[in-house]
Structure 1
Amino acid sequence: MELFAIEIRTTQWQPMLQWYKSALQLDSRLRRDEDGYALLTGDGWRISLIQRQDDKPRDRSAISLAIEVEDLKSVQRHVQNFLTEPTGPIMKSDEGFLQWTITDPDGNRIKLFQFVH
């Protein structure tokens, strides 16, 4: 088995689509505006953005993405231009990686990390 995609349901479909394409530089492989669906791809991973209607109740589940990058400081410099909320610093873990946690426009947590040797 293989994970196909992380699905994110949002009432802010268009802003989320633009944010993921710009901030994380994902490619839009499939997009159906009339259905409120986009499949975005990175290097070896996918995110499905699905339009959620305002009148439907939202469950309490939340998502968190963990994305490995080669150069965290470079990614940080780029992504900071697209953030709407302040973030904390890059942290070093005891497990041997650097991590920087941000949120997308819908408040979903994204952990960007880089293994250091």
Structure 2
Amino acid sequence: MKSLEEWVDKLKEVDKTIVVEGVKDKINLRKLGIPEKRIIFLDGPLYQIAEKIYKREKDCILLLDLDKEGKKLYSRLRHDLQRFGVKIDNKFREFLYKKTSMTYIEKIKLEEN
């Protein structure tokens, strides 16, 4: 992935559950064209979220914010998911971290949005 536009296109194509921190993050991904049924936000204890994902599928994408709190949540949720044997696709989060100055998922915008 070389651009944010390509990142969004790839995110639309992949058929995995996408986990975000809050409702605003979910709404923003919906505005970017990601199907609502694929997006879960943290609405309960992390172990319950991990169990819900495990029952749903064996792969997921964690798109938690890149601030201090988001990094803590990412670490804890990743640990819980790995205990269930869920594989985490990190390439989308790593792209944001390495190739953009984005910190918050709710702030991601494309030029035409």
**Same fold by TM-score, threshold 0.5 exceeded?**
no
Larger proportion of strand: 1
Greater relative CO (CA pairs within 8 A, separation 6+): 2
Could you tell me the TM-score, scaled by structure 1's length?
0.29
Could you tell me the TM-score, scaled by structure 2's length?
0.30
Larger proportion of helix: 2
